[in-house]
Amino acid sequence: MFTEKANAIFKEAIDTYHLVNTVDQPFINKYDKSEDLLGHLLYRKCWIDTVQWHYEDIIRDPQIDPVAALTLKRKIDASNQDRTDMVEYIDSYFLEKYNSVEVKEGATINTESPAWGVDRLSILALKVYHMDEEATRTDASDAHRAACKTKLDILLEQRVDLSTAIDTLLEDISKGDKYMKVYKQMKMYNDDELNPVLRNIKK
């Protein structure tokens, strides 16, 4: 199943990040693009999500220097764009893979493309990792660990459900029962022609 591979790669990326556990560490993709394009894309996707997860932790520090916060906000914006780009690359992979499938009459479209499901699965892997940390923290109270263990169990159940849904969607697409239709993200706030603030700066 696709998600078995995806979840394993996500865990690998998250574990590798936490060996150094700093947002400015160099990124090295463990999957060669020419040998395993899908693995390459999935590993990169989860690494982006992992770094951004920690950006979001840092920027919530109430004592953060305002200048540093602004710099970090720019990094979060860039990371969000990278995240969106990776989703589109993964969807392009699936579009190519299923390009020759004959779509059946009456086939339906899903509410989201496969890669946006993958996006949620990657974020879920991070939630599982960090909730497990909290559920096993030796310096936390028993009540805290118990509450986090309950949440962890729910997250694990959610991962099973989401994985099943993604695998089912891909199987339906492969059989022509569903079809893919991908809309490129039309974010306006990064575009200096569409964002009125940026447009006015150019004048």
Indicate the domain borders of the chain: 2-187
Among candidates 2, 18, 202, which has minimal Cα distance to 90? Answer: 2
Q: 71-75, 114-118, 172-176, 194-198: lowest mean pLDDT where? A: 194-198
pLDDT in tens, 137-180: 999 999 999 999 999 999 999 999 999 999 999 999 999 999 99
| This prediction's pTM | 0.91
Using DSSP's 3-state secondary structure scheme, residue 170 falls into: helix
Burial class from Cβ neighbours inside 10 Å (0-12, 13-18, 19+) for residue 28 reads exposed
pLDDT in tens, 26-47: 999 999 999 999 999 999 999 9
Using DSSP's 3-state secondary structure scheme, residue 59 falls into: helix
Q: For residue 48, what are the CA distances in angstroms to 4, 26, 147, 195?
A: 20, 12, 29, 25
> What length is written for the chain?
203
Alpha-carbon gap, residue 95 to 101, rounded angstroms: 10
Q: Is the dihedral of CA 92, 97, 99, 104 positive or negative?
A: negative
pLDDT at 15 over 70: yes
CA angle (28, 32, 36) in 5-degree steps: 135
Which DSSP letter does residue 109 get?
Answer: E
What's the average model confidence in pLDDT over 127-139?
A: 97
Alpha-carbon gap, residue 79 to 49, rounded angstroms: 8
